[in-house]
Structure 1
């Protein structure tokens, strides 16, 4: 999974856990996240690093929503939730059970859904201010629903619209991959919309599949490729296979069977442009290579299609605020994160 996330997700994860602030360095080290990234301009971590940190805090505080709400969700809550919805015949029934489950286990937070104009709207309901970081909670709890719903029907659910009950954050460029679809900010509620035809989809997962799903959580919910629907995702997937050989806008447009002008117009409709998508992919590829491999910097530079190491270093510093050499030095002394935390 060649994708990274903003340090927003790491920094804000500690907001509801005052006691964890003092021990933050230890948690970061165990997740193989260099502490220098906390203050690094445009710092980023891999999805696997964030997921490892999340699971460490879940286990440490026996709270599967660590410090988010007034009442902790003890270990096993997510498993119990999934078991309660897996027996549903369709997504419609599962969605009803999902919202009922949170009504029972939490006093200050929940979900509600409605169907109108051929769209299902699933909204977050705040009955009182959350204990943790509000934006992070909204992002993760809506992504939790989207991840579980997609997994249950064994089909990626394309979000048609996402509404956010907060001002556009600095890391909102991640939403192109976090919530692929139209995104609106400063709305009355945070909500996600999708095609109501999916409500009649049968539940295709069983208890035998649940263990693997839970072990991968929450990493699998972050980045979902919709290359069949979004041109930006198609561009990224092409670059992942052909960057060094055919990474120019002309090459990519030809591979996608469209003109450069059409490619530019369709990317603009998704709120981005070719160079941004290419740079985001190269940034994420470089961070993965620097943190997970011992490949020489020159080799990484060549893989990414740079003319020389100096060009790569300048670009990486513009993306993250640090040189690739400094980034690697800061992480080489850290332990490798465990593949899975029970």
Structure 2
């Protein structure tokens, strides 16, 4: 079943991100395919993305089936109802700072794998997930989901999507890093000592603006309202991908990209660095994703695909593709397999 294309700027997550989540939940590949097909997803389409509604439907069904709102990410399940009673405990806090500190105590009661460490300096507040002594090392998706629920609930309590100074992850940059950069409203960094959210300290003084009657609506829409954080504006990396989609096969340089995006070349490089990426990395990832899509979804010749992606020769495309996947475009197309 073929999925309608999804805009990269829409609220969606890649199939690669979802597969990592299913793997953490100990869902077998065969079972994962059975879960994805009713949603209209082709489990073999490496370029597919799940819409907000598709992802929420999948997540809710898994939480019920596994009897765990965190999908087996931690050694002790967080039974259905955990989010509700957590929110009830936070609603009467004076402000977000009190709510976050209260949550840090609650987290110790609910599970054994980590605790929340809240530190504030003159300008920022950092909420870190610290692994408890002797706790097993969890999969990367565990810290990601916990940061998402903290940011999502805090945003709901404050009545606004809270911008982030930065988001840190302790794992290496994954192939689907663009999902993290879309879902977190601020720069994202990988390979850091701890999983953490950093916010403007003034935001933690915001009063709690929600009441108990509003909680039922929030829980009914879960995980939409806590998982999908709308960015203040599309990240520069995503705007650059849109530009590349319109520009190729014509030469795409940092200079003409900066001109098209109405910023200086210095600003382009600085803002991409703030987002944890670079012009060349965004360009390489875009051409890789487009190459995989054309090789699996079209009958275009490898020479034509090379030209469409702006390579000066088929040999150059072969070298780049081997660097991305470990095999040649022809071998990848013949195998019909996702890249290694």
| Same fold at TM > 0.5 | yes
TM-score (norm 2): 0.67
Q: Which of the numbers 27, 36, 39 marks the counterpart of 1:28?
A: 36
Match of 2:189 among 176, 179, 183: 183
* Cα distance in structure 1, aligned partners of 2:274 and 2:129: 27
By how many angstroms is 1:130 displaced? 5.0
- The separation in 2 between residues aligned to 1:278 and 1:251, in whole angstroms, is 13
> Could you say which residue in structure 2 is the equivalent of 1:212?
217
Partner-residue secondary structure (3-state), 1:73: coil
Residue 99 of structure 1, aligned match among 97, 101, 104: 104
Per the alignment, do residues 86 and 251 of structure 1 end up closer, same or farther by CA in structure 2, a change over 3 Å counting?
farther
Determine the C-alpha separation between the residues in 1 that align with 2:240 and 2:173.
25
Instruction: State how far apart, in whole Å, the 2-side matches of 1:156 and 1:257 are.
Output: 27
Q: How does 1:1-342 map to 2 (within 5 A)?
A: 1-17=10-26, 23-37=31-45, 40=46, 43-48=47-52, 49-127=54-132, 128-129=134-135, 134-179=139-184, 180-187=186-193, 189-220=194-225, 221-227=227-233, 231-232=236-237, 258-259=263-264, 262-263=267-268, 265-272=270-277
Contact 1:102 1:110 in 2 (8 A): yes
| 1:6 CA drift (Å) | 4.8
> Do 2:189 and 2:276's aligned partners in 1 also have CA atoms closer than 8 Å?
no
Deviation per CA, 1:68-91: give whole Å up to 9, x if none: 222211111111111211121200
In structure 2, C-alpha distance between the alignment counterparts of 1:169 and 1:254, rounded to whole Å? 30
Q: Partners of 2:287 and 2:155 in 1: how far apart?
A: 28
> What is the root-mean-square deviation of aligned Cα atoms in Å?
4.6
CA distance in 1: counterparts of 2:13 and 2:286, whole angstroms? 9
CA deviation map 1:217-270 (0-9, x unaligned): 333423431229x5456778x98xxx89xxx99999678654566445544543
- Cα distance change, pair 106–271 in 1 and its aligned pair in 2 (3 A): closer
Provide, for residues 143-175 of structure 1, a one-character-per-residue CA deviation record: whole Å limited to 9, x for no partner. 111111112112222222333222333322333
Change (3 A) 1:280 1:80: farther
1:327 aligns to what? none
Unaligned runs of 5+ in 2: 1-9, 290-297, 299-306, 310-320, 330-340
> How many aligned residue pairs are there?
299
- Preserved CA contact (<8 Å) 1:58 1:64: yes
Q: TM-score, normalized by length of structure 1?
A: 0.67
Please list every run of 5 or more consecutive structure 1 residues that lacks an aligned counterpart in the other structure: 285-296, 298-309, 313-317, 323-342
